[in-house]
Structure 1
Amino acid sequence: MKKLSVLAVVAATCALFSAYAQAAGGEIAVIVKSANSNYWQNVQKGATAAMGNAKGYTMTFQGPAAESAIADEVNMVENAVNRHVAGIVLAPSDPDALVPAMKKAWEAHIPVVLIDSMVSDSGKQYYQSFLSTDNTKAGELCAKAMIEAVGQTGKIAIMSYVPGAGSEIGRVGGFRKYIETHSKLQVVGPFYSQSQMATALNQTTDVLAANPDLKGIFGANEPTAVGMGRALQQSGKSGKVAAIGFDGNQDLQGFVRDGTIRAIAVQSSYQMGYKGIETVVSVIEKKPVQKQVDTGVMMVNKQNLDSPEAKNVLY
């Protein structure tokens, strides 16, 4: 009887140790809106760098072929839950569609850290921390730069990306509200590229042709702004229509350097990946984390393009 008791204690201790080991290690699934843009690949670079300090953990990184493939991202989260990952770092492509999958993670005691975009209020209990640019503030900064470029009157266009995405709501909403309250500018659009560069190029070409009196144009994310810049060049409107872009890949840096785009609002996508891993590891290991973290934004123009501060966020 005594022997059985000892064995029971040993078994219980082993089970406790195994549970702790599982809680303090394992797979971290990083799931983003698309695996195909430089912006999200820069998130991956930051996450990979942070894994160097995350002993005992492994990382997987994935995203749909396009940001509009919302069902594919939902499936990726559900698959991560089904394989019992230790934690999930998620950039939700839709504020509502990802909530049921996040709830499954919550029910399975798998922590979720959001980056880049928020979910709707119904999902707030299912994530532990949210790391992003303050997109409303970033949109306001872009609107301020636009007014400085074109003045108080005239016509401007908004080239947006995926309607309803959390970042899009804040970013374009912040831009529009600032324009409406601080100027008399007439707004054309928004037009939605679904985060497809070729679509943005075609849409911008059409907008420029239909509005020969256009004074300014805003491209609200990386593929949209790249398409916008190419359309301005192809139509001979570079430097003639004041363009403000968003994000900071090599194409956009080139547009700023040659004057096609006046300024770009650059998020620290690397920091989202890096801090996303740090934060989810802290949650797994029962360390306190902030519910919301602003990862910052910087307005980059020709004057500060080569500054150390800009190089820290450009990619």
Structure 2
Amino acid sequence: MTKLKTVVAMAAASALFLAACGSGDSSGSGGSYKLSFVQGVTGDAFYITMGCAVQEEAKKEGATVDIQGPQKFDPTQQTPVLQSVVSSRPDAILIAPTDVSAMQRPIEQATKQNIKVVLVDTTLNDPSIAASAIASDNVGGGKAAFEAIKQLAPQGGKVLVVSVQPGISTTDARAKGFQDAVKADSKFTDLGVQYSQNEPQKAAQIVTAALQKDPDIVGIFAANLFSAEGSATGVRQANKQDQVKIVGFDAGPDQVKALQDGTVQALVAQQPGKIGQVGVQQAIKALKGEKTETKVQTGFTIVTKDNLDSPEGKAALYKSSC
């Protein structure tokens, strides 16, 4: 297999602005800040890794942090979790919104309670209500995923995107980055995006059906952890491992195993730890009335069998626990 280059793309923030003072002890002295981290979904290695970094950074800052999340990546489940967190009156909330539209009002309600909000990973239609928004360069990640498939299948052919559901800022951006890159290369044909609703079993069914309709598919871009897991299952069930190259987004234990087994050929690993660390830093700045960065983009690393055991490859992998 052609050795893929490790890509590390870092883009720093734009436009600084002076955040308003938070309630309570805005100087940070005389007591610790109370933070809450609302995950996109519990049990996901991406958010577990982020949560570990949030806890570590909060400890450095002398702050306490509570971590909660919904059982599914769903705004109808995340909203009551957020409302419960708001009722506990934290000084600041770090949250990964599960929908750009549906979570707008619930998060606005939190800011009206004089609680500082920092968006981590995902965002909103109007992120200006937050002190800061930290996320991966998801469009760039999608383009990098296509470059990986291009190197794995240089002859070209049909490619498919398996994503989560419409309306999620991160996965929508990844799909766009991938599809834009496909359209710019005449060797490849874009079969569009299909949605797994974050269910690995559904992703497997999507891939099985897609391979029945288009048995000559050469590549699949799985836009998140569960989509990659299910896509790998679908390809394996169709006995197409030698033909179909899968590039997954995220690098949890299941994805690493699939990479080691050869079912998935490359992973686009984000930096959830960095997102969590910067999220806490921006929240503390907002609470102290210091300038915050309205937008921070973090990079990613392409992980393959070739660099999996390298220091850089190991550092890119997600945690299943702290």
TM-score by length of 2: 0.86
User: 1:27, CA displacement in angstroms?
Assistant: 2.3
SS of structure 2 residue aligned to 1:28: strand
Q: Are 2:194 and 1:191 aligned? A: yes
Contiguous gaps of at least 5 residues in structure 2: 1-22
Query: Within 1, Cα distance between the matches of 2:309 and 2:138?
Result: 24
Structure 2 residue aligned with 1:96, among 86, 101, 123?
101
Aligned partner of 1:65 in structure 2 is 71
Q: Are 2:57 and 1:50 aligned? A: yes
SS of structure 2 residue aligned to 1:312: helix
Q: Are 2:313 and 1:310 aligned? A: yes
Aligned partner of 1:4 in structure 2 is none
Bigger Rg over Cα:
1
Query: Within 2, Cα distance between the matches of 1:61 and 1:119?
Result: 21
The one-letter code of the counterpart of 1:104 is Q
Contact 1:24 1:284 in 2 (8 A): no
The one-letter code of the counterpart of 1:81 is V
Query: Within 2, Cα distance between the matches of 1:20 and 1:51?
Result: 16
Query: Within 2, Cα distance between the matches of 1:251 and 1:270?
Result: 18
Query: Within 2, Cα distance between the matches of 1:64 and 1:292?
Result: 25
The one-letter code of the counterpart of 1:200 is A
Structure 2 residue aligned with 1:213, among 203, 216, 224?
216
Q: Are 2:130 and 1:118 aligned? A: no
SS of structure 1 residue aligned to 2:291: coil
TM-score by length of 1: 0.88
Q: Report the RMSD for the aligned CA atoms in angstroms.
A: 2.1
Aligned partner of 2:91 in structure 1 is 86
Contact 1:25 1:86 in 2 (8 A): no
Larger helix fraction of residues: 1
User: 1:240, CA displacement in angstroms?
Assistant: 1.8
Contact 1:23 1:284 in 2 (8 A): no
Aligned partner of 1:38 in structure 2 is 45
User: 1:108, CA displacement in angstroms?
Assistant: 2.0
**Distance change (3 Å), C-alpha of 1:207 and 1:107:** same
SS of structure 2 residue aligned to 1:290: strand
SS of structure 2 residue aligned to 1:182: coil
**Distance change (3 Å), C-alpha of 1:75 and 1:154:** same
Aligned partner of 1:155 in structure 2 is 158
User: 1:160, CA displacement in angstroms?
Assistant: 0.8
Q: Report the identity percentage.
A: 26
User: 1:37, CA displacement in angstroms?
Assistant: 1.4
Contiguous gaps of at least 5 residues in structure 1: 1-15
SS of structure 2 residue aligned to 1:52: helix
User: 1:189, CA displacement in angstroms?
Assistant: 3.3
Q: Are 2:254 and 1:256 aligned? A: no
Aligned partner of 2:138 in structure 1 is 135
Contact 2:28 2:288 in 1 (8 A): no
What number of residue pairs does the alignment pair up? 296
SS of structure 1 residue aligned to 2:301: strand
Contact 2:36 2:66 in 1 (8 A): yes
User: 1:94, CA displacement in angstroms?
Assistant: 0.5
